[in-house]
Amino acid sequence: MDIYIIFLNLWDTAGQEEYDRLRTLCYPQTNIFVICFSISNPSSYANVKQKWHPEVSHHCPNVPVLLVGTKSDLRDDLETVKKLKEQSLVPTTPQQGTALAKEVGAVKYLECSALRQDGVREVFSEAVRAVLYPATKKNTKKCILL
């Protein structure tokens, strides 16, 4: 990527229901969706499959998705783990994130922590890489010769 000058326009869209119609106006001309969820918030993880992926795949079916688990520093945070445990919950594991990425057809799953500045650069690098070097889809049509 060193040979390219790349300009990124990022849209952090509001997730509230009252913004649903307005939010989708940002979608045309999108090259990649970076769908994020908080590792420390199981409902955020569930929203990837229940809300975000269906929405973006409906409006932009051929645009790649990068799935990102944020706040990775909280996975081992005692206070966070304690609060989740009180609700019989646990932080999302890397394996769960990878499985969800596969389920929604994301090009990759990454984790990051803005607090620790861990993995943040990789999120942007992978987003650019996915646009510049798109994965070729396998032909899933099968032919039967009789």
Q: What is the pTM of this model?
A: 0.88
**φ, ψ (nearest 5 deg) of residue 72:** -60, -20
Instruction: Please check whether the domain covering 29-132 is classified as CATH 3.30.70.260.
Output: no
The full set of domain ranges for the chain reads: 29-132
Helix (H) or strand (E) holding 110: strand 108-111
Residue with tokens 């049509």: 141
Between the alpha carbon of residue 74 and those of residues 20, 89, 146, the distances in Å are 29, 14, 58
Query: For residues 66 and 34, what is the distance between their CA atoms, to the nearest angstrom?
Result: 5
Rounded CA separation 16/76 (Å) = 29
* 36-47 tens-digit pLDDT: 999 999 999 999
The 10s digit of each residue's pLDDT in 62-104 is 999 999 999 999 999 999 999 999 999 999 999 999 999 999 9
Q: For residue 73, how many other CB atoms are within 10 A of its CB?
A: 17
